[in-house]
Amino acid sequence: MQEAEIDKGINVCCVISDSLRWDVFVNSKPVNILKLGKVQKAHSIGNSTGTAMHGYLMNYPPIGIGKGLFVHGNPEHVPVVEGDAVVAKYKRWTELRKWMPRYFREKGYFTIWMSANPVPMRVDRELGGAYRKHFNHWGAEEYLDLPVATPQIIRDLELQVNMNLDKPIFSVTLLLDTHSPYHDGDGTTHLIDPSQPNINYEHQLRAMKYVDNVFPNFINIFSKTKRPTEFIFMSDHGENLEGRGWGHNSFRSALTFGEELFAIPFVRGRISDWSRSKVHMVKDTPHNDSGSVLNGEDPCMDEAF
CA distance 50 to 34: 27
pLDDT score recorded for residue 296: 34
User: In the chain, how long is the greatest CA-to-CA distance?
Assistant: 70
pLDDT score recorded for residue 295: 35
Q: Tens of pLDDT along the chain (305 residues)?
A: 888 889 999 999 999 999 998 999 999 999 999 999 999 999 998 878 888 999 999 999 999 898 899 998 776 777 777 777 776 777 666 678 899 999 999 999 999 999 999 999 999 999 999 899 999 999 999 999 999 999 999 999 999 999 999 999 999 999 999 988 989 888 888 888 888 888 888 999 999 999 999 999 999 999 999 999 999 999 998 887 765 656 556 666 667 777 777 899 999 999 998 987 755 433 333 333 333 333 333 444 443 32
**CB proximity list for 21: less than 8 A, separation 6 or greater:** 204, 235, 238, 239, 241, 260, 263, 264
pLDDT score recorded for residue 278: 58
Q: Which residues pair with 2 in a beta bridge?
A: 72
Geometric angle at alpha carbon 97, from 93 and 99, rounded to 5°: 140
pLDDT score recorded for residue 293: 37
pLDDT score recorded for residue 283: 31
Q: Are 2 and 305 in contact (CB under 8 A)?
A: yes
pLDDT score recorded for residue 282: 34
Check residue 89 and report its DSSP letter.
Answer: E
pLDDT score recorded for residue 195: 83
pLDDT score recorded for residue 304: 33
**CB proximity list for 225: less than 8 A, separation 6 or greater:** 11, 161, 165, 168, 169
19 in helix, strand or coil?
Answer: coil
Q: Which domains are present in the chain?
A: 3-70+103-302 (3.40.720.10)
pLDDT score recorded for residue 305: 26
Nearest CA-CA partner of 56 in 180, 234, 261, 238? 234
Strand pairing of 11-17 and 169-175? parallel
pLDDT score recorded for residue 50: 84
pLDDT score recorded for residue 93: 65
171-198 burial string, b = 16+ CB within 10 Å, else e?
bbbbbbbbbbbbbbbeeeebebeeeeee
pTM of the model: 0.84
- The one-letter amino acid at 10: I
Tell me whether the omega of the peptide bond preceding residue 265 falls within 30 degrees of 0, making it cis: no
CA distance 196 to 179: 16
pLDDT score recorded for residue 280: 43
For every residue of 248-300, DSSP letters joined together read S-TTSTT---SHHHHEEEEEEEEE--GGG--EEE---BTTBTT-EEE-SSPP-
